[in-house]
Amino acid sequence: MKTTMKDWPIVYNRIKRVRGFDEHEKILHARSLAATPDERWQMNVTFLRSLGLWGRSGRKKLSSS
């Protein structure tokens, strides 16, 4: 079964009774399990951009600290 980001609620229903995770972690895991590799890459890029760590300026920030 090939899944995409729009299928994450289905995956979430399958893992919602897993112990040890809070609600937020279950949603994050369901989204990452449902995403295709390209969608996972785009989520990572979006997250890094939100922190200001993407691109040349982000590399300079990391190397200067």
What integer pLDDT is reported at residue 60 of this predicted model?
65
Hey, what are 7's tokens? 């299928």
**Cut 0.75: pTM above it:** no
What integer pLDDT is reported at residue 65 of this predicted model?
55
Hey, what are 35's tokens? 């995403």
Rounded CA separation 4/18 (Å)? 21
Across the chain, which has 65 residues, the per-10-residue mean pLDDT values are: 76 91 92 90 91 75 61
What integer pLDDT is reported at residue 41 of this predicted model?
93
Among candidate residues 15, 17, 21, the one with its CA nearest the CA of residue 3? 15
Largest distance between two CA atoms of the chain: 45
Hey, what are 6's tokens? 């729009």
Rounded CA separation 34/4 (Å)? 5
